[in-house]
Amino acid sequence: MARTAVLGRLTWQSATLEGVRRETATARTLTLAVRGWQGHKPGQHVDVRLTAAGGYTAQRAYSIASAPTADTLELTVEATPGGEVSPFLAQMAEPGVALEVRGPLGGWFVWSPTEQQPVQLIGGGSGVVPLMSMLRTHRAVRHPSTMWLLYSARFPEAVLFSHELAAAGDPADGADRATLVYSRRSPAGDARQPHRIDARDVAAHVLAPEDAPRCYVCGPTPFVEAVIALLLLAGHDPELIRAERFGAGRT
Ligand SMILES: Cc1cc2nc3c(=O)[nH]c(=O)nc-3n(C[C@H](O)[C@H](O)[C@H](O)COP(=O)(O)OP(=O)(O)OC[C@H]3O[C@@H](n4cnc5c(N)ncnc54)[C@H](O)[C@@H]3O)c2cc1C
């Protein structure tokens, strides 16, 4: 790999917030313009650095939500109550704001359209963001392999990318499918009582171990640990499980 490409990823680059799109009451998608952006792989993230007037800086990691095939670079940020950085990005920052990004980062939690094996995505809360990049890429290139998403949100109003996910195809019709489950409150009429993902959900909504799917699990650390344990219990090969932990968190 060219040394300049590596240096480019590790160097802070100036970025401008070009646009914002509300996803939920507490989350927004941010479109960034980064001069000289080299592109990314689905699943990668960037570090974002903010600098206050007095020179104080704060940086946090945010996954890339957009597909590399898209024209824009998008992040989707959920406001953490009392957080230092996320409430600014998710609720306050206006187009034109200058910030810095470093990346793309992460070489393990990535999916490439050159891979042919079935894929199971499992996300909790904002952990769906890097999985969305994978799903969008899968759709954009009309990938023939199966890609399923199981997404746990706290309640219906907390669902990110709801319109796009609702458009997920019938598996008989295409190769991707999105299933939403709720941990705190389900929509009216939903037969499933709200609860955290359990073994029954895995049996019902996750590709079978016999299909040998590559599994990508992302969300708050307790969510990721619980889901990995369920996948192993169901007989999935640990070698095929990749995980990204966002830290503490609410589910
Ligand atoms: C690789 C990676 C990718 C990430 N991608 C995304 C993404 O795409 N979208 C996104 O919204 N976030 C993402 N995160 C989380 C993000 O980096 C920040 O941790 C999050 O936005 C909180 O930052 P903050 O400055 O607002 O809160 P902080 O000031 O860091 O934390 C404030 C308080 O909230 C607690 N806390 C920290 N994180 C959480 C949480 N998730 N839920 C509840 N409480 C918390 C802390 O323990 C602390 O007590 C990612 C994290 C990693 C490691």
| Alpha-carbon span 43 to 106, nearest angstrom | 8
pTM above 0.85, yes or no: yes
Residue 224 is assigned to a structural domain of this protein: yes
Q: Which atom of ligand 1 is nearest to the CA of 64?
A: 8
Q: Is residue 198 in some structural domain?
A: yes
**Considering only CA atoms, which residue is closest to atom 37 of ligand 1?**
248
Which of 45, 77, 105 represents a domain boundary (last residue)? 105
250: in domain: no
Element (H, E) at 53: none
Q: Which of 46, 60, 76, 78 to mutate to test the pocket of ligand 1 (most atoms within 8 A of CB)?
A: 60
Domain final residue pick, 52, 83, 105: 105
Q: pLDDT class for 2, splitting at 50, 70, 90?
A: low
Spatial CA neighbour of 110 closest among 198, 216, 203: 216
What is the domain count for the chain?
2
What is the DSSP code (8-state) at residue 126? Answer: G
Q: Whose CA is nearest to atom 51 of ligand 1?
A: 246
Looking at the fold, whether 178 and 230 belong to one and the same domain comes out as yes
- The per-residue pLDDT for 126 is 98
Q: What is the CATH number of the domain that holds 131?
A: 3.40.50.80
Buried b / exposed e along 123-136 (16+ C-beta atoms within 10 A):
bbbbbbbbbbbbbb
Q: Are residues 213 and 127 in the same domain?
A: yes
Domain that holds residue 90: 3-105
CB of 80 shorter than 6 A to ligand 1: yes
On whether both 126 and 234 belong to a single domain, the answer is yes
Positive or negative, the CA dihedral 89, 17, 157, 208 is: negative
Same domain flag for 146 and 239: yes
Residue 4 has pLDDT above 80, yes or no: no
Last residue within a domain, chosen from 56, 73, 105: 105
User: Which burial class, exposed, middle or buried, applies to 3 when counting CB atoms under 10 A from its CB (0-12, 13-18, 19+)?
Assistant: exposed
pLDDT digits (tens, 9 = 90+) for 17-52: 999 999 999 999 999 999 889 899 999 999 999 998
User: Is the CB of residue 149 less than 8 Å from the CB of residue 179?
Assistant: yes
Task: Give the number of the atom of ligand 1 that is nearest the alpha carbon of residue 245.
Answer: 53
| pLDDT at res. 68 | 96
Task: Inform me whether the pLDDT recorded for 172 exceeds 60.
Answer: no
Residue 251 is assigned to a structural domain of this protein = no
Q: Is 126 near ligand 1, meaning CB less than 6 Å away?
A: yes
Is ligand 1 within 6 A of the CB of residue 63?
Answer: yes
For 148-213, give the secondary structure using H, E and C: EEEEEECCHHHCCCHHHHHCCCCCCCCCEEEEEEECCCCCCCCCCCCCCCCHHHHHHHCCCHHHCC
The tokens describing 166, both together, are 């609702």
Least confident stretch, 5-9, 55-59, 153-157, 226-230: 5-9
Is residue 244 within 6 Å of ligand 1 at its C-beta?
yes
What are 124-163's pLDDT values in tens digits? 999 999 999 999 999 999 999 999 999 999 999 999 999 9
63 within domain boundaries: yes
Question: Would you place residue 167 in the very low, low, confident or very high pLDDT band (cuts 50, 70, 90)?
Answer: confident
Give the pLDDT band of residue 10 (cuts 50, 70, 90): confident
How close is the Cα of 246 to the center of ligand 1, in Å?
Answer: 6
Is 248's C-beta closer than 6 angstroms to any atom of ligand 1?
yes
Check: CB of residue 89 under 8 Å from CB of residue 100: no
Structural domain includes residue 94: yes
